[in-house]
Amino acid sequence: MKKKVVIVGMGFGGLSAAKSLSKLGYDVVMVDKHNYHLFQPLLYQVATAGLEQESIAYPIRALARNWQGASFRLGEVSAVDFEARTITLEDGQLCYDYLVLAVGSRTNFFGMQSVERHAFDLKSLAQSEQLRNHILIQFEKASREQDRVRRAALLTFVIVGGGPTGVEFAGALRELSRYVLSRDYPEIAVSETRIVLVEAANSLLTAMEPHLRDYAAHKLRNMGVEILFSTQVVDATAELVLFKDGSSIATHTLFWSAGVAAAGLTGKLGVSLGGGGRIMVEPDLSIKGHPEVFVIGDAACLEQDGKPLPMMAPIASQQGRYVARALQARQEGITPPPFRYRDKGCMATIGRSSAVASTHGYTFSGFLAWVVWLLLHLYYLIGFRNRLLVVMNWGYYYFFHERQVRLITGESHK
């Protein structure tokens, strides 16, 4: 009889695990609160009017029909009973022989409720659409605002977090305002739009080599992005961002990309947690005392070389494939070797024709890094149609400096 493997969460880790396990003869049940896999690295391009929402998402059921023994269940998990080997959904329970928790992460506001209430973040399609609406509405309001102080606040955008998301969003927003919205709103001068990138450390992209960090900061400043290093946000209102040193910036738009924590489900399971609410796992990614339960991706806390692995998509994907190999080894009576992440590098795009990248000891920046960034993101994007749509949008923008997805599809709720 086939063993049933239930995978909760269809991000990069869950998707990788499902694809690998379906090839090994397991009965694989994929569970997610959305019926699609989301390519989160490109959410910021939806928010900055560069891509349609549908081009970075792919239906999970369309994937399941191509994988033998795989099926999908729409729902959100509220509890796990390790002894009974069941998970609880809104409409009932689901039993398992093996469980893979790939529940992902949520934005970490570090307990600052006022910031959480007033800031935008990017973890879902709905949030990207809401942020795009908000940005366009600010330009609409500013175009008819007569008060100079209020107009300046409407056109000021504060981005907190100098990691890849913050850097990429800042560059994309600067290009949107300079090359596209400046033509849509001729009454607004390019110089009136202010984009401020705030970082608590003394450099951007801290995981990269120093010269790549310097390149990114230099490039952003040349584009017109202000960068505030060693600056911490402590509070926010609907029209103001306040910093630890007592200074503040008047703005109607605060974007937060300064930290992530494990999804809320991890705190309901009664297991040992590490930093950021991540579940402490054994070297084979299982939970101590429950070898049939694996945790992968952002929800898992595993140390390698003396420090916890970061919460990154490549790690989740490798862990998903590892779980399949580990289960197969167990079936053959073999103890699987410990999981070890093989770092293939990291990269970030800064703007049109510009990026930074490091891989296998090599570092490069500029146009070449940008081309590599484009090709890798296209490679990992699921679906021929999605790849075609993304290429067409990127090509259209590259040659014409135009972004077509400037639609206000609903009122901003922030």
Over the chain (414 residues), the average pLDDT of each successive run of 10 is 94 97 95 97 96 96 93 97 97 96 96 96 95 97 97 98 97 96 96 97 95 97 98 97 98 96 96 96 97 97 95 96 96 94 94 92 94 95 95 93 86 50
Q: For residue 59, what are the contacts with CB-CB under 8 A and spacing of at least 6? A: 35, 36
Q: Tell me, what's the pLDDT at 411?
A: 59
- Residue pair 203/213 in contact (Cβ under 8 Å)? The answer is yes
Instruction: Please tell me whether residues 254 and 278 are part of one structural domain.
Output: no
Instruction: Please tell me whether residues 316 and 199 are part of one structural domain.
Output: no
| CB-count exposure of residue 351 (10 Å: 0-12, 13-18, 19+) | buried
Instruction: Please tell me whether residues 245 and 174 are part of one structural domain.
Output: yes
Instruction: Please tell me whether residues 101 and 117 are part of one structural domain.
Output: no
Question: What's the one-letter identity of residue 109?
Answer: F
Instruction: Please tell me whether residues 237 and 206 are part of one structural domain.
Output: yes
Residue with tokens 């998402």: 57
Of 272, 302, 331, the residue at which a domain comes to its end is 331
Instruction: Please tell me whether residues 186 and 321 are part of one structural domain.
Output: no
Q: Tell me, what's the pLDDT at 319?
A: 98
Instruction: Please tell me whether residues 164 and 298 are part of one structural domain.
Output: no
- Candidates 116, 129, 145, 168; catalytic one: 168
Of 331, 362, 383, the residue at which a domain comes to its end is 331
Residue with tokens 């930074």: 356
Instruction: Please tell me whether residues 235 and 295 are part of one structural domain.
Output: no
Instruction: Please tell me whether residues 243 and 273 are part of one structural domain.
Output: no
Give the separation between CA 182 and CA 189, rounded to whole angstroms.
Answer: 7
Residue (of 272, 305, 274) closest to 287 by Cα position: 272
Q: Tell me, what's the pLDDT at 413?
A: 45
Clarify whether 168 is annotated catalytic.
Answer: yes
Q: What is the pTM of this model?
A: 0.94
The residues that bridge with 73 in the sheet, in sequence order, are 31
Number of domains in the chain: 2
Residue (of 75, 42, 41, 35) closest to 58 by Cα position: 35
Provide, rounded to the nearest whole percent, the portion of the chain with pLDDT above 90.
94
Q: Tell me, what's the pLDDT at 414?
A: 47
Instruction: Please tell me whether residues 310 and 212 are part of one structural domain.
Output: no
Instruction: Please tell me whether residues 193 and 296 are part of one structural domain.
Output: no
Tens digit of each residue's pLDDT (9 = 90 or more) over 143-173: 999 999 999 999 999 999 999 999 999 999 9
Q: Tell me, what's the pLDDT at 412?
A: 47
Residue 165 in domain: yes
| Residue 91: domain span | 4-33+75-107+260-331
Give the separation between CA 384 and CA 391, rounded to whole angstroms.
Answer: 11
Residue 270 in domain: yes
- Residue pair 228/196 in contact (Cβ under 8 Å)? The answer is yes
CATH code, 374: 3.50.50.100
